[in-house]
Structure 1
Amino acid sequence: MSITQQYLLDTYRARQHGDPTPPAPGTHDWQAMRELADHRRFRAALTGRPERGRIRAALSRLLGR
């Protein structure tokens, strides 16, 4: 069963029971990716490792390090 078919089945069942419809597939993908990145930065900070990424690279270029 594909994601679309499962979504349509869930929507049908929700309407039959009077429940709110579930969010469409992919609606919260970007939010989940941001939360994963935040969690990785948090774990890095707890272990004392420097944060990696585009912001750190841009700051190091600006500061000349």
Structure 2
Amino acid sequence: MSITQQYLLDTYRARQHGDPTPPAPGAHDWQVMRELRDHRRFRAALTRRAARGRLRTALTRLLG
């Protein structure tokens, strides 16, 4: 069963029981990715590791 078919089945069942419909597949993907990035940055700050990503690359380029 595909994700779309499962979503349609869940929507049908929710309507039959009078429950609110579930969110569409992929509706919160970007929010989850942002939260994961923020969590990784937070964990890096707690362990006092060096910065990674665009900022570090830009600083290396400017200073080096």
Q: Same fold (TM over 0.5)?
A: yes
The list of structure 1 runs, each at least 4 consecutive aligned residues, that deviate by more than 4 angstroms after superposition, is: none
Q: Aligned residue for 1:49?
A: 49
Residue correspondence of structure 1 range 1-65 to structure 2 within 5 A? 1-58=1-58, 60=59, 61-62=61-62, 64-65=63-64
Alpha-carbon separation, structure 2, partners of 1:55 and 1:26: 29
5+ residue gaps in structure 2? none
5+ residue gaps in structure 1? none
Question: Could you tell me which amino acid in structure 2 is paired with residue 37 of structure 1?
Answer: R
Structure-2-length-normalised TM-score: 0.87
Percentage of identical aligned residues: 83
Q: CA RMSD in A?
A: 1.2
Residue 20 of structure 1: how far off its partner (Å): 0.8
